[in-house]
Amino acid sequence: MTSHDPARPVGATISHVVVPGTFDPVTLGHIDVIRRARRLFPRVTVAVAASVNKNGRGTTFTLDERVQMIREAIALEGLPPDVEVAPFTGLLVNFCKEIGAGGVVKGLRAMTDFEYELQQADLNSHMAPDLESVFVMSSPQYGYVSSSIVREIAAMGSDVRILVPANVAERLSERYA
């Protein structure tokens, strides 16, 4: 008896992964995960979820704004220009299949992240058995950073430049002026 999944050839490698998220807004923690994914895999697509009903209220920035901010941040933060950014709606597994990605990379900050992401990975595995989930631990300097904390701090008029790329800090300053 073997535990090998016949859908996955032995020795098969993954050359294209997706780093998904709402990125409302993108933080330096997100950029760190994207950078690390690119070190591990030759092709990375940052998948920006529409998330029209996130937290029952929608997102702070539109999908187009979030895609543009990530593209600008990738350039500002010195990531390779071959990191792609694409919006998506619907199921992540369907998006991965459409673009030919063999894996999903997610950053984990704490045990609560792990519990949520493990549930998502298990569900994705049932829907797309050939799609791998890869988790990277948050770098210590970003373990406390989240988009919701960034939005809250910015809404109170405080400086968020140590938490987000410069272009995002500027957009947040404009949004909450």
Active site residues: 30, 54, 109, 147
Cα torsion at 103, 109, 113, 119 (round to 10°)? 30
Distance CA 172, CA 177 (A): 8
Q: 44 near 19, Cβ under 8 Å?
A: yes
Identify residue 70 by its one-letter amino acid code. Answer: I
The DSSP result for 12-56, as a single string, is ----EEEEEE--TT--HHHHHHHHHHHHH-SEEEEEEE--TTGGG
